[in-house]
Amino acid sequence: MDKFLIEGGVPLEGEIAVSGAKNSALPAMAACLLTSEPVTLHRIPDVRDIMTMRNLLKHTGAGIEDLGGGSLRVHAAGITNPEAPYEVVKTMRASSLVLGPLVARTGTARVSMPGGCAIGARPVNLHVNALEQLGAVVDQSHGYIEARAEEGLRGTHIHFDRITVTGTEDVLMAAALAEGETVIHLAAREPEVVDLAELLNKMGARIVGAGTSTIHVHGVKRLRGAEHTIIADRIEAGTFLSAAAITGGDLLISGCVPDHVDALTAKLRQAGASISVAGPGALRVKGGRRLRSVDVTTEEFPGFATDLQAQYMAVMTQAEGISIITETIFENRFMHAQELVRMGANIRLEGRQALVAGPRKLSGSPVIASDLRASASLVLAALVASGETLIDRVYHIDRGYEKIEEKLAAAGARIRRVQSK
């Protein structure tokens, strides 16, 4: 099992390029199941979740051609096996994304319940209820969701009980081939939803309103092939912004979309970091000599992303004062706090709030990554800690970050991947 060995104390300097968004690439790949024609996708990140999705698409009968340079061509000419078995998707939380496309294209689907990070419940019931409103018959048993719609799906008004990104994406894909109009109320507004809608429209779908809380989908009888480039990964960009802030470094983050990380950059500026737009798709961040504590509450986009909460907590361990971090999206997303405490952080948990007192001198120690974003927070803490930190279970970080140790090392970090003995 791979580990990261990090020696802290080096401010990061130079340029780090942001990869394509994993959370955009996954639904885009699932959308390829909606058409019998080839779909070419560019800027696909080389991360473990993408490999899982590739294996899943192959399992359904789709062909995948690796074009090199992060480009894939997916051709689902015929779907011979409309299911997502547990043994294929057990490490990925996005397995439910294929539920809508499979039942819309073939009239049937059998999908294992999501696996992946243990950060809290993912409301699969929202997907199920939405598909039922579209006319599917859905059963849940033995860890699987089975959906049937032999006569096709029918457009309707769908009111989500709470905002759900994957639920919105799943319904978008299913509704694209449904008869009539579907209106999605309380839709997620994340950039990844907008990116998926743009791909679907290129394929011939008729979607209006993506990026707002109400999306209209006029169903069509068939979708065609298309070519599409995935947006930049805003969570990766935010992680590197946080890395510069915590180390007092000077980094150019290139290939990003500055508007997508506005909530984070606002907080980092308040904390004392200097952040400026450095040309199209680039941000320059300089860490302040003395950081100040700033409270944050996670919210759906355009609010502060839950996927950046752990990294921000690491930064706040180096800030003067007490910061209150409130997590509203996932109920178990403070598991990294105890590992940060092992490194010397002063953190007290009170329900869905974490009180972080700083600045604290962190020291290197053996720690364990509990989930994808928690592992990133431990990397950030290790970059500023004295001595060496050994991070175990970095397969979590490999699920969502493309060659993060190489990118950080190129900016001066003393980090290397080591194998367990």
Whether the predicted pLDDT of 105 surpasses 70: yes
AA letter at 264: L
Residue 358 has pLDDT above 80, yes or no: yes
Q: Quick one: pLDDT band at residue 94, thresholds 50, 70, 90? A: confident
Q: What is the rounded distance in angstroms from the CA atom of residue 25 to the CA atom of residue 327?
A: 26
Residue 256 falls in the annotated catalytic set: no
Q: In 3D, which of 239, 244, 253, 230 has the Cα closest to residue 273?
A: 244
Intra-chain end-to-end CA distance of the chain, in Å? 9
Q: Which residues on neighbouring strands pair with residue 231, listed in sequence order? A: none
What are the structural domain ranges in the chain?
Answer: 2-19+232-419, 22-229
User: pLDDT per residue over 55-88, tens digit each?
Assistant: 999 999 999 999 999 999 999 999 999 999 988 8
Work out the mean pLDDT of the chain and round it to a whole number.
94
Above pLDDT 70, what percent of the chain? Answer: 97
pLDDT tens digit string along 226-284?
999 999 999 999 999 999 999 999 999 999 999 999 999 999 999 999 999 998 999 99
Band (112; pLDDT cuts 50, 70, 90) = confident
* Backbone φ/ψ region at 252: left (φ over 0), alpha (ψ -120 to 50), beta: beta
Task: Read off the pLDDT of residues 174-230 as tens digits, 9 standing for 90 and up.
Answer: 999 999 999 999 999 999 999 999 999 999 999 999 999 999 999 999 999 999 999
Q: Considering 117, 231, 381, 415, which one is annotated as catalytic? A: 117
Peptide bond into 38 cis (omega under 30): no
| pTM for the whole structure | 0.95
CATH code that applies to domain 2-19+232-419: 3.65.10.10
pLDDT at 115 (0 to 100): 52
Contact 326, 315 (CB under 8 A): no
pLDDT band at 140 (very low <50, low <70, confident <90, very high): confident
Name the architecture of domain 22-229: Alpha-beta prism (3.65)
Chain centroid, CA 139 distance in Å: 28
Looking at this protein, which amino acid is placed at residue 222? R
pLDDT digits (tens, 9 = 90+) for 151-173: 999 999 999 999 999 999 999 99
Please indicate whether the domains covering 2-19+232-419 and 22-229 agree at the CATH topology level.
yes
